């Protein structure tokens, strides 16, 4: 058993390199059965999708909390520390609670291993979150984000009030499938019989799968562009507004401060979900609270300006759709003389398609490596970028710097006062980069 939080955390996190990703519900279901099915005492809003899950969860949690509800959130991965992924009203799970629950779960996990195999880090984290919410924190509602996919994601052991599906794109193709319909089928796996579904899966192939799944499970579907829609009013850096129209009412001039047109889609998805919760379950958020909550909602690591001198923008785009969205936003929202782009990726991503979207707007590319066992070597990623450059004829400076700290320092030295440094790729890399930029004095950064 564990004597400290640090020992418990080591046990939890070492499961990732030991066992990796393990699709399937049987291990989590067996563990929760031994715990007395704590998930049955909670009310969940289940959110799946390729990109936009975290932002949608942030809008939902902010609005519900502003209305006076106690709101639990389970999101991943974390940007600062492990406890970030399990929160109530924005407050992390206490380290003492992680320790106590880990000591409760460890012998049960050991009992189950001969029958079901070892639990993965994500499966264990799912169980810790459920046990914490059900036996210590007692939130009124839990905003519950999938890790990967949906159908075989360990979070899919719950019976939610609503199923929410953001956009669907090509990511985790080694696990979820190599085509949009295959991946959409996995995401749509969170749809439960008779439970309302709200979706912004705008890709027609993905939308067709969501419709088909909802119809088969007799789940009422609210789909962007059909049952609800939004229209842009104003866009500028740090603020944008839109009008929302749904089947129950309209909400004009909704303001959000997260950048990027995609955030309007995420906000509209959250609004429609709140409307469903109001109509189906009498979960009420007054308009004044709603508008104020959306205007102050933020999500770390998503188009987050973490420094003004030099200007450093962080964004967790790590797949082709995310790269396209980031490139579009950089073109339309921000001003700069040139872009210095620092990129660190994992090996299992679609690097050519990512680079195809990003490289046309980049002036200087510095490729580095996350501190993670599945990292993509900087030299190999730089070679992929150089191959794109040679094929296109575009003038692009590419540097491979495996040490991510040195890569950040180099970018800061190379960027002029009118330039923009963009740090992107794996969220594991972003977590470290964000901490260094925000917490380390410039005198110690080599700038």
- The last residue of a domain, from among 246, 270, 296: 296
Question: 326 and 394 in one domain?
Answer: yes
- Residue 270's nearest CA partner among 291, 239, 288 is 291
- Digit-by-digit pLDDT tens for the chain (447 residues) are 899 999 999 999 886 655 556 788 999 999 999 999 999 999 999 999 988 999 999 999 999 999 999 999 999 878 889 999 999 999 999 999 999 999 999 999 999 999 999 999 999 999 999 999 999 999 999 999 998 888 999 999 999 999 999 988 766 656 677 798 899 999 999 999 999 999 998 789 999 999 999 999 999 999 999 999 999 999 999 999 999 999 999 999 999 999 999 999 999 999 999 999 999 999 999 999 999 999 999 988 889 999 999 999 999 888 888 899 999 999 999 999 999 999 999 886 567 889 999 999 999 999 999 987 778 899 999 988 887 755 555 557 899 999 999 999 999 999 999 999 999 998 889 999 999 998 877 766 667
**What range defines the domain where residue 40 resides?**
5-296
Confidence at residue 271, expressed as pLDDT on a 0 to 100 scale:
98
We report the CATH number of the domain holding residue 346 as: 3.90.190.20
When divided into structural domains, the chain yields a total of 2
Q: Both 274 and 335 in a single domain?
A: no
Find the helix or strand (DSSP H, E) in which 128 lies: helix 121-132
HEC string of the chain equals: CCCCHHHHHHHHHHHHHHHCCCCCCHHHHHHHHHCCCHHHHCCEEEEECCECHHHHHHHHHHHHHHCCCCEEEECCCCCCCHHHHEEECCEECCHHHHHHHHHHHHHHHHHHHHHHCCCCHHHHHHHHHHHHHHHHHCCCEEEEECCCCCCCCHHHHCCCCEEEECECCCCCHHHHCCCHHHHHHHHHHHCCCCCCEEECCCCHHHHHHHHHHHHHCCCCEEEECCCEEEEEEEEECCEEEEEEECCCCEEEEEEECCCCHHHHHHHHHHHHHHHHHHHHHCCCCCHHHHHHHHHHCCCCCCCEEEEECCEEEEECCCCHHHHHHHHHHHHHCCCCCCEEEEEECECCCCHHHHHHHHHHHCCEEEEECCCCCCECCHHHHHHHHHHHHHHHCCCCEEEECCCHHHHHHHHHHHCCCCCEEEEEECHHHHHHHHHHHHHCCHHHCCC
Distance CA 229, CA 209 (A): 20
CA distance to 300, 428, 429, per residue, from 314 (Å): 9, 12, 10
Q: Are residues 40 and 24 in the same domain?
A: yes
Residue at which a domain ends, from 296, 324, 343: 296
pLDDT tens string 386-431 = 877 555 555 578 999 999 999 999 999 999 999 999 999 988 899 9
Residues 359 and 267 in one domain: no
Query: Are 270 and 398 found together in one domain?
Result: no
Go through the chain and tell me how many residues it has. 447
Question: Are residues 277 and 406 part of one domain?
Answer: no
Same domain membership, residue 352 and residue 282: no
Quick: pLDDT tens for 116-146: 999 999 999 999 999 999 999 999 999 999 9
pLDDT of residue 173: 58
Q: What is the pLDDT at residue 446?
A: 65
- Residue 19 and residue 134 in contact, taking contact as beta carbons nearer than 8 Å: no
Residues 51, 173, single domain; the answer is: yes
DSSP assigned state of 281? H
Domain match, 317 and 277 both: no
Same domain, 118 and 179: yes
One domain for residues 308 and 212: no
Burial (CB count <10 Å: 0-12, 13-18, 19+), residue 441: exposed
User: Which of 296, 330, 350 is at the close of a domain?
Assistant: 296
* pLDDT reported for residue 41: 97
Provide the CATH number for the domain around residue 292: 3.40.1190.10
User: Are both 203 and 261 inside the same structural domain?
Assistant: yes
> How confident is the model at residue 40, as a pLDDT?
98
């Amino acid at each position: 058993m564990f004597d400290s939080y640090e020992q418990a955390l080591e046990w939890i996190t070492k499961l990732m390199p030991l066992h990796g990703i393990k699709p399937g519900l049987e291990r989590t279901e067996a563990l929760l059965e031994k715990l007395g099915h704590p998930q049955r005492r909670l009310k969940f809003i289940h959110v799946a999708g390729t990109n936009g899950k975290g932002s949608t969860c942030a809008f939902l949690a902010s609005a519900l909390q502003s209305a006076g509800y106690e709101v639990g959130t389970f999101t991943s991965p974390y940007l600062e520390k492990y406890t970030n992924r399990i929160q109530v009203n924005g407050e992390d799970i206490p380290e003492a609670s992680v320790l106590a629950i880990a000591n409760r779960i460890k012998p049960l996990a050991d009992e189950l291993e001969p029958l079901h195999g070892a639990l993965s880090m994500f499966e264990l984290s799912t169980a810790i979150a459920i046990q914490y919410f059900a036996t210590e924190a007692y939130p009124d509602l839990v905003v519950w984000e999938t890790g990967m996919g949906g159908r075989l994601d360990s979070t899919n052991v719950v019976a939610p009030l609503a199923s929410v599906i953001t956009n669907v794109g090509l990511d985790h193709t080694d696990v979820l499938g190599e085509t949009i319909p295959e991946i959409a089928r996995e995401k749509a796996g969170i749809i439960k019989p008779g439970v309302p579904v709200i979706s912004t899966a705008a890709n027609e192939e993905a939308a067709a799968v969501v419709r088909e799944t909802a119809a088969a499970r007799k789940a009422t579907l609210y789909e962007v562009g059909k049952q609800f829609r939004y229209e842009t009013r104003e866009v500028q850096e740090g603020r944008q507004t839109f009008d929302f129209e749904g089947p129950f009412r309209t909400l004009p001039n909704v303001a959000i401060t997260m950048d990027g047109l995609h955030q309007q889609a995420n906000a509209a998805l959250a609004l429609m979900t709140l409307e469903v919760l109001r109509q189906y379950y009498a979960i009420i958020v007054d308009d004044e609270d709603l508008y104020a909550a959306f205007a102050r909602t933020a999500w770390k690591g998503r188009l987050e300006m973490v420094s003004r001198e030099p200007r450093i923008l962080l964004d967790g785009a790590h797949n082709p759709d995310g790269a396209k969205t980031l490139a579009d936003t950089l073109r339309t929202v921000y001003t700069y003389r040139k872009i210095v782009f620092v990129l660190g990726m994992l090996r299992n991503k679609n690097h050519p398609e990512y680079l195809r979207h990003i490289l046309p707007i980049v002036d200087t590319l510095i490729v580095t490596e996350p501190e993670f066992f599945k990292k993509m070597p900087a030299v190999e990623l730089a070679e992929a970028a150089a191959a794109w450059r040679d094929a296109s004829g575009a003038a692009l400076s590419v540097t491979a710097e495996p040490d991510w700290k040195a890569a950040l320092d180099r970018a800061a030295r190379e960027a002029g006062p009118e330039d923009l440094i963009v740090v992107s790729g794996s969220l594991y890399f972003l977590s470290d980069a964000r901490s260094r930029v925000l917490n380390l004095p410039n005198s110690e950064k080599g700038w």
